[in-house]
Structures are given as structure tokens and as C-alpha cells.
Amino acid sequence: MPRKPKRRQLIELTVEKVAFGGKGIAHLDDFVVFVEHSLPGDRVRARIRKVKKNYAEARPVEILEPSPLRQEAPCEHFGYCGGCRWQNVAYEQQLQFKKQHVLESLEHIGKVTPEVIHDPLPAPKIFGYRNKMEFSFTTNRWLPPEELADPEIPKGFGLGFHVPGRFDQVMDIHRCWLQSDLLNGILNFTRDFFHRAEIPAYNLHTHDGVLRFLVLRESFTHGQALVNVVTTRPLGDTAKAYARQLVEHFPAVVGVVNGINARPAQVAISEEIIPIYGESTLREKLGDYEFEISPNSFFQTNTLQAERLYEVARRYAEVDGRVVWDLYCGAGTISLFVSGKARAVIGFEIVEEAVADARRNAERNRATNCRFVAGDLKDTLVQHAHTPPEVVICDPPRAGMHPEVVHTLRRIAPPKIVYVSCNPATMARDLAELTRDYRLVEVQPVDMFPHTYHIESVGKLVRK
């Protein structure tokens, strides 16, 4: 029987591989230990944090022998901020890790092996690639141990990211390498302005305070930015002063809005949008199509790589002259992207606001062969099953498809399904069911998120 470690025990481990989620995998005898902040080849002294029935979790206290894969991470917040797990790994190695994760998920969870799995498509930009960023305000910012005792470092107001595993702790961020210099400038201006204005940040324990989130969006096509300051109540004249000064410093800002969210849930969604300056939406292009993005809209966060992702999906779908269903269509990006060659496209989406965006985007692009259906896909697909499509493209959320949706797809039995996924585990789970009736002909991983463990994948399924 494997030897189980005890909580808080110090042990020496050699990391063998990387698990999905970015943690290293090591063994104590035959007992699995997941090691934070580690890479294959690291020999570490680690402290056990959690012990479960079949595995334990540990945190390194000392790297006894570093992995040859390690390199210097450029970001000063690396290791504390949870955004980039792999800045200390060469990009080519990151791509190998991601391909391994996709294949292992398919084989171990889905018990399915694709006939072909390609190397991941690398991102054209590995820094400054995100078109949307969300930051949280705090009145008591978190400090790493080396800064905590320094009396010259301010301990109060901050604007940044949540520390991993600590919902109420925010690390002050002055430069994020995943966003542009423009957005970094707006971030720092915003912190300084509201700190001087002495408006309190929202407290997650007491639910007092006003400032909650700063949501930044950037159009890579037009070089413009949309700024949303999310608060528990309207900021009034303070918001107008902020917008006026912000635009003076950053003329690329074409819109400032004040989103209102008084709910306790820590989600940067605005229940009400108050226009403060200029536009309340942003325009972005993917291929030949232009999209209007509202403050709450979902849009792929890597514009340059999203186009390549959709090109793969369109190529796999072979939509020429065919009727296409686009499941979980969101604001209609995939629907419009394939509409130029398809005979007709029907997009299905549960979020009514997203469907309204999709209809506006179709009208903007004169895509008269697109229509969109709002409602729970468990119901709407059944209602349309009497006129089945020739091709289905699905791009579900991280949780994957509902079992009833998978069942309906199998019953409708389109000749081809293209499955776009941001989560290899739930993709594998769904494909385990679909491959009862379909061959998994091809899988193309697409790296949308350099320096993180996240990976998109496109799978091509052909009916047996």
C-alpha cells in the first residue's frame, strides 16, 4: 500500500510531469503528490498542505535542484499572481505541455484517441495579447512577505488581481504583461485617481464600500479602449471628472461607462450600465466581419488568435452550401464567421443579451442567412429537431455540454460535428458519448493563452 504523507510534513520530491492546472506531479513511493509552482525535473523540499484519499498537495519551501526547463520570468509579480503559471518556461515547451494535456484528457477521461492530433497553433503574440482585463479594487492590499515589513510600501488602497486561493485578498498590479501598454497606463491612472478621490473600495466581508472592478477592453483593429468602472452605486460627478481626465491622458479611450453591481457575488457583470463619456460599446474585426462588443458581452480575449481558431473550425466544418447549427453561439462570432460560405446558419444561445448582440452583429454585417434562437439548449434543440442541420459547430462553456444536449445531438445525428472547447476535461467527457456514433477524425489545439495552462481545442467528428 502506498505510503501516505501527513499534513505539514516536509518531504523531498522529484517532479516528473505537469498536470492540467499547472501543478507538478511527483510520487512518494506510489502515492501521488501535486506540487505547486514546480516543473518537470525540479527536485524540491516541499510541505504537505492537504492529504486526500488518493493524492496529496504540497508547496515547495526550497528548490534543491532546479529543472533545466526553468527560465527567468519577466513579471515582477510572478509566483504570487495566479495569472501566468508558465512565464518561467520557454514558449515552445509550454506548447508541448498543452498538447500532452489535451491528448491525456481525451485518452484517460474520454477513453478516445483521435486519428490525428496536431501540434498546437502558437499565438502570434505571447505578451500583450489580451483584449479584456478585469481588476478588483481593495482598501487593504495583499503584500508578499518581503514587502510586508517594509514601512515605505503603502499598505492600503490597491487595484489588481486576487491572490490564488484567497477570495478576499487583492495584489496591487502596476504592470500586467498580458495587456498592452495602453491598458497598463489606464490601470495606473485609475488607481491614482480613485485613491486621491478617497472613495472606499468594496469590502467582501462587510459588503460596505463602493469601488468593485475596473474592466478594460481594447480593440486591436481600431486601437481603441472602452473603460467600465463597476461600483455598488452610481459615481455621479466623480465619474464625469474621472472620464474627462482619463481621456485627456489617453485619447484612445472612446468610451467610459459606470457599471452598477450591488450583489454580494464577486462577478464583474453590471446589472445597469450608465454611459459617462463617448461610446458604450467597442468595435472589433475578425476576418471580414465587424463585431460590436458591449460591456457585458463575451468575446474571445485573444483577438489575433481567435481568428485562427475560427478558421480551423470553419475548415473542419466544410460549410459550403450547407445548413449549420452553431450551439452556444454567444454574440454570433462563429455564426458570422461561417455565414459567408454556408447556406444558412442558426445560432442557439441561453443568454438573451448575447442573442441580442448576435442579431445586431448579423445586421451590421448584412448576414441575412443567420438567425438566432434564445433559450435553454435542452429545449430549443428539440424544438428544431424536425429540420436537422448538415453540420453542427458547438463551443460550450468550460462546464461542457449538458447531457441532454449531447443526447439530442446523437438523436439528430448530423453528418458532422465540430467541437470547440476551452476545457480538455469536459471536452473528453462529451466526446466519450459522441464517439459512440462518430469518429474523432482530427484535433487541433490552439493556444489562445500563452504563459497559462489554458488551451483551446477543435475536434472534427464524422458520423460512422
DSSP assignment of 171-237:
EE-S--TTS-HHHHHHHHHHHHHHHHHTPPBPPTTT---SEEEEEEEEETTTTEEEEEEEESS--TH
H helix runs in 340-423, sequence order:
352-364, 377-383, 403-412
Among residues 81, 84, 329, 422, the one annotated as catalytic is 422
Location of C-alpha cell 504583461: 177
Q: 457 with 427: CB under 8 angstroms? A: yes
Q: Are 13 and 26 in contact (CB under 8 A)?
A: yes
Evaluate whether 409 touches 66 at the Cβ level (below 8 Å): no
- The set of cell numbers assigned to 328 is 452556444
d(CA 307, CA 305): 5
**Annotation says 81 is catalytic:** no
Contact 260, 269 (CB under 8 A): no
Q: Are 178 and 84 in contact (CB under 8 A)?
A: yes
- Cα–Cα distance list, 433 to 87, 165, 203, 390, 442 (Å): 36, 33, 45, 20, 17
Annotate 78-143 with DSSP letters as a single string.
BTTBSS-S-TTB-HHHHHHHHHHHHHHHHHHTS----S-BPPPBPPS-SSS--SEEEEEEESS-B-
28-41 in b/e form (b: 16+ CB < 10 A) is: beebebbbbbbbbb
Write b or e for each residue in 373-396: b if 16 or more Cβ atoms lie within 10 A of its Cβ, otherwise e. bbeebeebbeebeeeebbbbbbbb
| Strand, helix or coil for residue 159 | strand
Write down the residue that cell numbers 517594509 correspond to.
150
**Which amino acid is located at 241 in the chain?**
A
Separation CA 423–CA 396 (nearest Å)? 9
Residues 6+ apart with CB under 8 A from 238: 197, 199
What is the C-alpha separation between 157 and 142, in angstroms, rounded? 10
Nearest Cα neighbor of 261 from 294, 228, 292 is 228
Three cell numbers, residue 421:
472547447
The residues assigned a catalytic role are 422
